[in-house]
Amino acid sequence: MSEYEFISTQTQDTLDFAKRLAALLQPSDVIALEGDLGAGKTTFTKGLALGLDITRTVNSPTFTIIKEYNGKMPLYHMDVYRLSDSSEDLGFDEYFEGSGVTVVEWAHLIEEQLPEEILTIQLRHTGDDTRKIVLQPKGPRYEQLCKELFS
Ligand SMILES: Nc1ncnc2c1ncn2[C@@H]1O[C@H](COP(=O)(O)OP(=O)(O)OP(=O)(O)O)[C@@H](O)[C@H]1O
Ligand SMILES: [Mg+2]
């Protein structure tokens, strides 16, 4: 499986990178965001939202598992960290196959429910303000997307 890397040296870098990715996204794209607490998953999602012309502030959906934002196309922001039963089906497929882009923080917790083709993005702490962002595309759609993003 191919991997693509981006080094972010400040919050703004992560926002800008996510914004560039957003420009290439299409309805029904699904992104899995992985990384420790504070790695920057929500920050990355904020960047995606900016790129989709979403004006509402995106924050961690702590008490709701799924939040929906409207922009150029809808953004479905999920954080499944606090989902007590990971096999519980909250109708995720409706989002994955919907007319917007889905972003799932802590996606591996609902691994069995994720679509087969997905773009996994790992944010790794490498310092206070530095992050290594690793993209792992699964399926031709996301391979192509990464090629474009890194061309
Ligand atoms: N290069 C960077 N990229 C992203 N965030 C950074 C960077 N440097 C510093 N930060 C800071 O790290 C914090 C990341 O918090 P954020 O809420 O995005 O993480 P998270 O992965 O969503 O955490 P949680 O697991 O709690 O949901 C923010 O305060 C952000 O400003
Ligand atoms: Mg978060």
**If you write DSSP's letter for every residue of 67-81 in order, what string do you get?**
EEE-SSS-EEEEE-T
Over residues 117-150, the pLDDT tens digits come to 999 999 999 999 999 999 999 999 999 999 999 9
Task: Say yes or no: CB of residue 102 within 6 Å of ligand 1.
Answer: no
Over residues 57-114, the pLDDT tens digits come to 999 866 788 999 999 999 999 999 988 787 888 899 999 999 999 999 999 999 999 9
Name the residue among 30, 24, 58, 36 with its Cα closest to residue 120: 30
Supply the residue whose CA is at minimum distance from atom 18 of ligand 1.
Answer: 40
Angstrom distances, CA of residue 112 to CA of 7, 39, 109: 30, 24, 8
Q: What's the pLDDT score for residue 24?
A: 98
Ligand 1 nearest atom to the CA of residue 60, by list position: 27
Q: What's the pLDDT score for residue 10?
A: 98
Ligand nearest to the CA of 38: 1
Ligand nearest to the CA of 39: 1
